[in-house]
Amino acid sequence: MSEKQKLELYIHIPFCASKCRYCDFLSGESTPEAQRAYINQLIEEIRAQGQILPEYQLSSIFIGGGTPSILSGLQIQNIISAVYENFVVEADAEISIECNPGTLDATKLEYYREAGINRLSLGLQSADDEELKLLGRIHSYNDFLHSYELARAAHFDNINIDLMSGIPHQTLHKWRQSLKKVLRLHPEHISAYSLIIEPGTPFAALYGSEEGQKALPGEDEEREMYAETKTLLEEYGFTRYEISNYARPGKECRHNIGYWTGVDYLGVGLGASSKLKHHRFHSEERLDRYMAVEMHRDLMPLYQDLVALTVADEMEEFMYLGLRMTKGVSGADFYDLFHLNMFDLFGDAIRKNTALGLLEVDTPMLRLTERGIDLSNRVFADFYEVLPRNQALFPDDPRNLF
Ligand code: SF4
């Protein structure tokens, strides 16, 4: 029997109790009826996808949103059962769910455990109630504490906490307080992202203008927050393994590592993104159209912006996604995948950024320096669309449309 290929599954739940003021994710308020109908359609999609992808087995499942924990425990269990019925799932697969403080209770957590969920990601963002209010979050810090205690009582031993720096009026002191409060709880994983003002959000109207931006921490302050995060988290036994992600040993998020290391992933549900068989696409983003797709007949109407990736696209992606990981990218792995020398192919970008002190070579690894992590977007730009887009240059690579 031929060995199955590794696949990661992302399941999108596009519902939230109310919209946070900075958020541009595909999510919104809805009725229980709409949620029920969506879950039925999602399960139809999972069935149909499982049938057309028999050559894969799932190494991780990530239920994200939105706020998946807004659904009942039984609804989540039904979704996961549908996955198990239609895909081969590795015995030690990482199965995560994103939860919002204030939407969890002991019964839901029991269902999660029964369903095989072994990792929780709690969207806290800040341990300061004023900041939470400003962000438009539905919960207080105490609500979060309650959810966290419930999760521990339900024996979840792999918990991530999301935190956000760069919040309007946030000072280094306040950020440090948030970090310390969270660290005292001893979670296994912390994601520390900085706020991005997204166009079209209430925050863009408030803080997008030159005047509005004055309320945001300046560039230097943000850099100090980043440095402080690393120092404090390392003191508490965490290792930074990606630009914004820290974990205790062995608790790195395997699902996200898959994204950064080029594992194929399938996104199911509204607007979910996929990278599969050298193609990239996302699912229909309009709920009425998503609901109208006859999943059992033809999945093609679901796929939007289907792009065939060239070998050059994949090589560049290997570099700028892989470099997000602090261990860097391996020239040996690159050679195994593409049969070419990474250091020759990207010689200009590597020479330029090592001369600037942003990259360092430790053969066969290439990685960002501390300074390079601060200026990572500048480095990544040097690996983006720099190779010739001529398939004939890479004759060994069979690109089969599906
Ligand atoms: S809970 Fe998350 S997905 Fe929902 S509105 Fe807030 S930030 Fe967006």
Residue 106 in any domain: the answer is: yes
Count of the separate structural domains present in the chain? 2
Whether residues 25 and 92 share a domain: the answer is yes
Q: For ligand 1, what atom is nearest to the CA of residue 18?
A: 5
Domain presence at residue 267 = no
Select from 217, 241, 259 the last residue of a domain.
Answer: 259
The confidence score (pLDDT) of residue 391 equals 55
198 and 320 share one domain: no
Assigned domain for 20 exists: yes
- Looking at the fold, whether 179 and 42 belong to one and the same domain comes out as yes
Q: What DSSP string runs through 218-271?
A: PHHHHHHHHHHHHHHHHHTT-EEEETTEEESTT-S-HHHHHHHTT--EEEESTT
Q: Write out the residue range of the structural domain in which residue 338 sits.
A: 311-393
Q: Is residue 273 part of a domain?
A: no
Tokens matching residue 78? 């039904």
Domain containing 380 — which CATH number? 1.10.10.920
Is 267 close to ligand 1, i.e. is its CB under 6 Å away? no
Q: Do residues 101 and 161 both lie within one domain?
A: yes
In-domain check, residue 159: yes
257 and 325 Cβ atoms separated by less than 8 Å: yes
Residues of the chain with pLDDT under 50: 398-402
Ligand 1 near 16 CB (within 6 A): yes
Of ligand 1's listed atoms, the one at least distance from the Cα of 100 is 1
25 touches ligand 1 (CB under 6 Å): yes
Whether 146 lines ligand 1, by a CB cut-off of 6 Å, is no
Q: How far is the CA of 18 from the centre of ligand 1 (A)?
A: 8
Same domain, 237 and 149: yes
Question: Shortest CA distance to 85 belongs to which of 44, 37, 39, 36?
Answer: 44
Q: What is the pLDDT of residue 400?
A: 38
What is the DSSP secondary-structure string of 176-222? HHHHHHHHTT--SEEEEEEP---TTSHHHHHHSSTTGGGGSPPHHHH
Residue 19 Cβ inside 6 Å of ligand 1? The answer reads yes
Domain closes at, from 197, 225, 259:
259
- Report how far ligand 1's centroid is from the alpha carbon of 23 (Å): 6
Q: Do 167 and 229 sit in the same domain of this protein?
A: yes
69 plus 159 within the same structural domain: yes
Ligand 1 centroid vs 15 CA: distance in angstroms? 9
Q: Does 125 sit in the ligand 1 pocket, CB within 6 Å? A: no
Q: What's the CATH number where 32 sits? A: 3.20.20.70
Q: 117 in ligand 1 pocket by Cβ < 6 Å?
A: no
Instruction: Examine the domain organization and report whether 57 and 172 are in the same domain.
Output: yes
- The number of the ligand 1 atom at minimal distance from the alpha carbon of 24 is 8
| Same-domain check for residues 224 and 86 | yes
Q: Is 124 within a domain? A: yes
User: In terms of domains, do 320 and 197 share one?
Assistant: no
Note whether 203 and 164 are within 8 A (CB). no
Residue 135 Cβ inside 6 Å of ligand 1? The answer reads no
Same domain, 330 and 253: no
Residues 165 and 24 in one domain: yes
Q: What is the pLDDT of residues 55-99, one digit of tens each?
A: 999 999 999 999 999 999 999 999 999 999 999 999 999 999 999
Out of 228, 244, 259, a domain closes at: 259
Residue 25 lies in a domain: yes
Question: Does ligand 1 lie within 6 Å of residue 193's CB atom?
Answer: no
Is residue 68 included in any domain, yes or no? yes
